[in-house]
Amino acid sequence: MPRLSAHGRLFWIAALSVIVLDVITKTLAVRLLTPYVPFDVLGPYGRFTLAYNRGAAFSMSLGAYSRVIFGAFAAIALVVLWRMYRAAGPGERLKVLGLGLAWGGAAGNLLDRLRSGRGVVDFIDLGVGTVRFWTFNVADSGVTIGACLLAVALWLEERQRIAARD
């Protein structure tokens, strides 16, 4: 069996960490929380509120076909992220980390869509009083942090390209 490269290890450790943490936290949320009843963790600023999201980010919905359409988008995203990872060069650790986190997050939410028609399990609820951010989960955090790291990596790449031309 061939050994994984340093990039392979980084990508898979990031992706699998997000998936495992996502599955564990969602399982605990479903077992321990009552749907749509907030449980304060950090006073009124941070709480756990179990919610099911049949749509996409920010509860965007496409009606009865949301599960299938957003599931297909997630599967396509996994392929695109995988191809980007495979094309990453030897010195692109930040890019590979971002891709691994985003891949793990997309996979975590896709697992929810495949397992249940209720929707993706969300439970992290941040805000102040009645001003709340959208409820999210660990997979969403992986996608967001991964996308931010990827954006920084691509920006740094572009800066290096411009500097090399000058």
- Locate the domains of the chain by residue range: 6-165
Per-residue model confidence (pLDDT) at position 77: 95
More confident residue, 127 or 63: 127
Report the percent of the chain where pLDDT is more than 90: 69
Q: By C-alpha distance, which of 87, 104, 146, 107 is closest to 17?
A: 104
Mean pLDDT, to the nearest integer, of 64-93? 88
Average pLDDT of the residues of the chain: 90
Two structure tokens written together for 10: 């980084």
What distance in Å separates the CA atoms of residue 10 and residue 16, rounded to the nearest whole number?
Answer: 10
pLDDT at site 66:
65
User: Quick one: DSSP state of residue 135?
Assistant: P
| Active-site residue set | 122, 140
pLDDT tens digits, residue range 92-151? 999 999 999 999 999 999 999 899 888 899 999 999 988 998 899 999 999 999 999 999
